[in-house]
A = this chain, B = another copy of it.
Amino acid sequence: MKKTRNTQKQDFVLDILAKSEHTMSADAILEAMPIKINKTTVYRILDRFAEKGKVHYVTGENGKAYYALCSDCDVEHDFHNHIHFQCKNCEKVTCLSYEIKVPELKNFEIQETQFLMIGVCDKCKA
């Protein structure tokens, strides 16, 4: 694996994700940054983290990628097989602790999973 370097901007990205109760899109992270940073940099930091298994992402119904720190993820197999929920109204994507059992598939070699449930969250229903 390629060598990596520690930078303040990478640390901030981790911090922001750690403090967030929801997954975050690249532009949300960009906005939450306390220092000036380029969006390309955010994307590349997230890419590197995803490759190292520090972070996983789900593609929302809207086609946007949402990132979260990996905690219980099976990094070895890149299986982030818990459920994610996206609210149609506020568009927030949440990691849920509910796990889906990944099936064995003929004809396909599974490397990653993305389980997304879509609807309305309680906050938006009220």
Contacts and interface: CB of A to CB of B under 8 A. Distances in A.
Contacts of A63: 59, 63-65
Interface string A51-80: 000000001111111000000000000000
Interface stretch (A1-9, A12-20, A40-48, A99-107): A99-107
A86 to B, nearest CB: 9
B116 A111 contact: no
Contacts of A107: 121-122
Nearest to A101: B100
A120 B109 contact: yes
A35 interface: no
Contacts of A114: 61, 114-118
A113 B103 CA distance: 17
Top 4 A-B pairs ranked by shortest CB distance?
A: A63-B63, A111-B119, A112-B118, A114-B116
